[in-house]
Structure 1
Amino acid sequence: MLIALLVILGLIVLFALWAVGVYNGLIKKRNLVQEAWRQIDVELKRRHDLIGNLVETVKGYAAHERGTLEDVMKARSAAMAGGQTPGQQAQSEGMLSAALGRLIAVAEAYPDLKANQNFAALQNELTSTEDRIASARRYYNANVRELNTKVETVPSNFVAGMFNIKREEYFEVEGAERDPVKVDFGQSTYNIPPPAGYNAPQDTAPAQIPTPPPPGQLPPSQG
């Protein structure tokens, strides 16, 4: 009887030690997820600031592009709203990326704006920030995947359920955020009309290709 009791106590102790180890592992992974999200949040705030400065710079050269500028600022305000889950934040950032893409396309039609040094510096900073966001997103999602695997698989899911440790959301932005916005004026896929008063250089007339003579007939002499 005593031996059976000792065996039961031993099993209880082993289970308790195992549960503590699993719990500590889950907490560590959850903390890593939260830390990774804070890194994303820092870069997103920097992105929002840069976009605000970019809009102000564009406004100085293209104030009449009111609709595009307002769309960017509205999307920026939505992205900056607090209390969003990673999924909601991803959706807001995707909308901001789309609006930003339209703004960059509009800037194509303004040579003076493209030559502005402040605008060029903002382009470089924004591109660098987009790259850091993409890197931070990959790190965050990797930690989320590890935590969710532990929360969903046996036997660690029992401990997660006991202490209400839940799955975390991935940060996946559809569209532009998957490939960070590159502020590059080398090529454009948008058809933006030029501003009023701007005369684009005219293309030269295409070369005239002579029509070949009918079969069996020599071409006319060249003088």
Structure 2
Amino acid sequence: MNKPIAYLILIIAIVVTLPIFFITIPLLIILYNGLVKKRNHVAFSFSGVDVALQNRGELIPNLVASVKAYMFHEKSTLHDITALRNKLLEVDPQSSKRFGMENELTGLLKNLMVTVESYPDLKASENMLHLQRSLNEMEEKISASRRAYNAAVMNLNNAIETFPSNVMASVYNFKMSPFFKADESARAVPILKEGFNK
């Protein structure tokens, strides 16, 4: 092979392979890093939800202890709250089962707070007022954390399902994350007529 033909082959090889190194490889790196960042953001957001849920879990024994002396008729509700709190400690933190159980616990706590209204002495107790304020603050933090988590999950799930990042997601086995969803009782429309009939 003569020298000019060798140079020509070398130049053609460089022209053909350069785009692979200067376009394709950086694109693949950017896509992979973007998926990793989104997955890590989901984990970070979930840790915020988890911390808020754990803080609420720590309030529950104090709440149950304060209410127990007054509420003889609601022992089953208190038992359900305590039992559900204990079950939550055994469930995988990022499972949809845990999300459902947390929603169930939220419903039970709301029912308990409504029931507290029937006990004027308990409702006026300084300890109970403090617990109610703390529980309301925790519910607000949980709600904000859930919104941040769901936004992070949406970004990750969109990246996993849309082209071209879905190719990298399939190759590296990125999984869709579950959303925190409201349970059916939270979707029910409250009946207000009882409050207006007084």
Q: Smaller-chain TM-score range?
A: 0.7 to 0.9
Which deviations, in whole Å up to 9, do the C-alpha atoms of 1:71-124 show, x marking residues without a partner?
Answer: 111222223334143422220011112222332233222111111101100100
Q: CA deviation at 1:168?
A: 1.3
Contact 2:103 2:183 survives alignment (8 Å):
yes
Match of 2:84? 75
Aligned partner letter, 1:4:
I
Distance of 2:144 and 2:28 partners within structure 1: 34
Match of 1:8? 16
Which deviations, in whole Å up to 9, do the C-alpha atoms of 1:147-192 show, x marking residues without a partner?
Answer: 111111111111111111221111113246679xxxxxxx9979xx
- Cα distance, 1:60–1:189 mapped onto 2, change above 3 Å: farther
Which structure's CA Rg is the greater one?
Answer: 1
Distance of 2:184 and 2:125 partners within structure 1: 29
User: Is residue 104 of structure 1 aligned with residue 120 of structure 2?
Assistant: no
Match of 2:5? none
Match of 2:144? 135
Match of 1:174? 183
Distance of 1:188 and 1:78 partners within structure 2: 36
Aligned partner of residue 48 in structure 1, secondary structure: helix
Counterpart of 1:17 (choices 23, 26, 42) is 26
Contact 2:50 2:93 survives alignment (8 Å):
no
Contact 1:141 1:171 survives alignment (8 Å):
yes
- Higher relative contact order (Cα pairs below 8 Å, separated by 6+ residues): 2
Distance of 1:189 and 1:45 partners within structure 2: 35
Contact 2:88 2:98 survives alignment (8 Å):
yes
Q: In percent, how many aligned pairs have the same letter?
A: 36
Aligned partner of residue 51 in structure 1, secondary structure: helix
Q: CA deviation at 1:32?
A: 0.8
More helix by share: 2
Moved more, 114-123 or 74-83: 74-83
After TM superposition, the structure 1 = structure 2 runs for residues 51-62 of structure 1, keeping only pairs within 5 Å, are 51-62=60-71
Counterpart of 1:29 (choices 30, 38, 49) is 38
After TM superposition, the structure 1 = structure 2 runs for residues 116-195 of structure 1, keeping only pairs within 5 Å, are 116-175=125-184
Contact 1:97 1:176 survives alignment (8 Å):
no
How many pairs align?
A: 184
Unaligned 5+ segments in structure 1 are: 180-186, 191-202, 204-223
TM-score norm. by structure 2 comes to 0.83
Contact 2:68 2:78 survives alignment (8 Å):
yes
Aligned partner letter, 2:38:
K
Distance of 2:91 and 2:33 partners within structure 1: 30
